[in-house]
Amino acid sequence: MEVYNYLKSLHLIFVITWFAGLFYIVRLFVYQIEANDKPSPEKEILQKQYKIMTYRLWYIITWPSAVLASIFAFWMLFFTPTGNAWLQMPWMHVKLGFVFVLYLYHYKCHKIYKELQNDEVKYTTNFMRLWNEGATIILFAVVFLVILKNAVNWIYGVVGIMLFSILIMLGFKFYKRIREKNNS
């Protein structure tokens, strides 16, 4: 049991740093896209700095955290007696589904990262601000599943997440209006 608690602690630490990286990288994407509209030489200076910052965040914090969180999770699930018991629980299957969605989100962020590193701006800052909420929704879903350990009530959780998403969208629209008024 002692080894399991160390593994769980390490897993949680790297999940936290992984999410921190995902939250911050998308904010940096917003700044990179905004910098693209600046006049020279400000544009070039900002783009160069944001490319360095995103590179370091992505490859020194976010990717290693994702890999280490996964290694410790697999270790707990497949090489400890407690993990084998968790794999039999329906809530864990739902959680692993959300983790799969998190990997897809991470992969899409990686594609956006590579595009921006190559000066390809395909998305608006508004899209990026909404995209940033994707990780938040996944985080909420996983935390509630882990704490409540009830896959039957995951339907309520999904409804709650949808309502939370609507609140985020409304908050985003409200914030956008305030920004537009302040910029006028």
- 3-state SS, residue 109: helix
Comparing CA positions, the residue from 133, 146, 117, 141 lying closest to residue 55 is: 117
Is 11 known as a binding-site position? Answer: yes
Is 176 known as a binding-site position? Answer: no
CA-only gyration radius of the chain, Å: 19
The alpha carbon of 133 is separated from its chain's Cα centroid by a whole number of angstroms, namely: 8
DSSP code of 149?
-
Q: Which residues contact 183 (CB under 8 A, 6 or more apart)?
A: none
Comparing CA positions, the residue from 77, 55, 58 lying closest to residue 67 is: 58
Binding residue ranges for heme: 11, 95
Annotated binding site: 11, 95
